[in-house]
């Protein structure tokens, strides 16, 4: 049975990683647009630990992700209109010192987590008609190597997110569900280590980033919200860099 969104219904967004950084900025931006927002984040952050209510869920755990979307359905039986999946982890370790368990942890949260959250998000949206949107978080690391902060597991995980985005756009398109990704460069959030070292940071921005500075969570959130919302209704399969130009140097 098809449940079209009533024309005057509020736009409903699920955002993962909503307790911090880019996810929190997406949640704040969506609230400012008058959207209804539910957050997902780690179980110990369950409750009101961010700008929106958090449903606790480790995104790498299949049962937990399925259970979290069952709770979303209790709030919104007709499903969300959009999903921004921002939960993720960063890890800097030279490849020769990277153990398989550390590799699996990063791939488990970033790649498997994107697969699980996108799958459950799309399942929740599927019964309805109308424009619906999934936005994933890739990274400049998917297309650029990094000799300064070696992070092979992270880069590989974000390469997987980029490929997943294109595949899901192809697979979900006929159901009216768009899938896009945002690929941030260096963004000033709790995840970022470069900005802790002012000297290294100045040298990096002077030589490798055309706009010569870090981005803000709000600047990435603006791109996520554009791709999540109806203004981008004819855009799918895109990976949009928000990196001050880093990927072109």
Ligand X SMILES: NC(=O)c1ccc[n+]([C@@H]2O[C@H](COP(=O)([O-])OP(=O)(O)OC[C@H]3O[C@@H](n4cnc5c(N)ncnc54)[C@H](O)[C@@H]3O)[C@@H](O)[C@H]2O)c1
Q: Which residues are catalytic?
A: 154
Give the residue closest to ligand X by C-beta.
Answer: 21
Q: What share of the chain is helix, strand, coil (3-state, %, to 5)?
A: 45, 15, 35
Nearer to ligand X, 128 or 189 (CB): 189
Site membership for ligand X, residue 189 (CB under 6 A): yes
Stretch that binds ligand X, among 4-12, 57-65, 121-129, 162-170 (CB under 6 A): 57-65
Total length of the chain: 249
Minimum distance between the CB of residue 90 and ligand X, rounded to whole angstroms?
A: 6
Site membership for ligand X, residue 168 (CB under 6 A): no
Site membership for ligand X, residue 180 (CB under 6 A): no
Nearer to ligand X, 29 or 184 (CB): 184
Minimum distance between the CB of residue 175 and ligand X, rounded to whole angstroms?
A: 25
Burial class (CB in 10 A: 0-12, 13-18, 19+), 81: buried
Site membership for ligand X, residue 49 (CB under 6 A): no
Nearer to ligand X, 42 or 175 (CB): 42
CA distance 49 to 66: 22
3-state secondary structure of 80: coil
E-strand spans in 61-187? 82-85, 132-137, 177-184
Minimum distance between the CB of residue 103 and ligand X, rounded to whole angstroms?
A: 15
3-state secondary structure of 6: coil
Number of residues that bind ligand X (CB under 6 A): 27
Minimum distance between the CB of residue 95 and ligand X, rounded to whole angstroms?
A: 19
Among 13, 20, 169, 201, binds ligand X (CB under 6 A): 20
The conformation of residue 183, written as its DSSP 8-state character, comes to E
Among 9, 102, 170, 190, binds ligand X (CB under 6 A): 190
Closest CA to 72 of 115, 23, 45, 38: 38
CA distance 35 to 69: 18
Burial class (CB in 10 A: 0-12, 13-18, 19+), 236: buried
Element (H, E) at 227: helix 217-228
Site membership for ligand X, residue 42 (CB under 6 A): yes
Nearer to ligand X, 128 or 240 (CB): 240
Minimum distance between the CB of residue 7 and ligand X, rounded to whole angstroms?
A: 33
Q: Which residues bind ligand X (CB under 6 A)?
A: 17, 19-23, 41-42, 57-60, 86-90, 109, 137, 139, 184, 186-187, 189-192
């Amino acid at each position: 049975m098809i449940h079209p969104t009533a024309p005057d219904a509020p736009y409903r967004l699920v955002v993962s990683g909503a307790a911090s950084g880019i996810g929190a900025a997406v949640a704040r931006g969506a609230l400012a647009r008058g959207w209804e927002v539910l957050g997902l984040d780690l179980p110990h952050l369950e409750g009101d630990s961010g700008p929106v209510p958090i449903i606790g869920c480790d995104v790498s755990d299949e049962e937990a992700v399925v259970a979290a979307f069952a709770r979303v359905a209790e709030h919104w039986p007709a499903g969300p209109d959009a999903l921004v999946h921002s939960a993720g982890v960063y890890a800097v370790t030279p490849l020769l010192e990277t153990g398989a368990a550390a590799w699996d942890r990063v791939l488990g949260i970033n790649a498997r987590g994107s697969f699980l959250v996108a799958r459950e998000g799309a399942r929740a949206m599927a019964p309805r008609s109308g424009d619906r949107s999934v936005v994933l978080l890739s990274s400049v690391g998917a297309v650029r190597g990094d000799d300064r902060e070696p992070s092979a597991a992270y880069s590989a995980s974000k390469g997987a997110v980029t490929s997943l985005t294109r595949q899901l756009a192809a697979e979900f398109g006929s159901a009216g569900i768009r899938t896009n990704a945002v690929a941030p460069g260096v963004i000033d959030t709790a995840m970022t280590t470069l900005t802790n070292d002012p000297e290294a940071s100045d040298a990096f921005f002077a030589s490798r980033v055309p706009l010569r500075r870090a981005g803000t969570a709000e600047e990435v959130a603006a791109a996520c919200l554009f791709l999540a919302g109806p203004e981008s209704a004819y855009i799918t399969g895109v990976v949009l860099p928000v990196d001050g130009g880093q990927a072109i140097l």
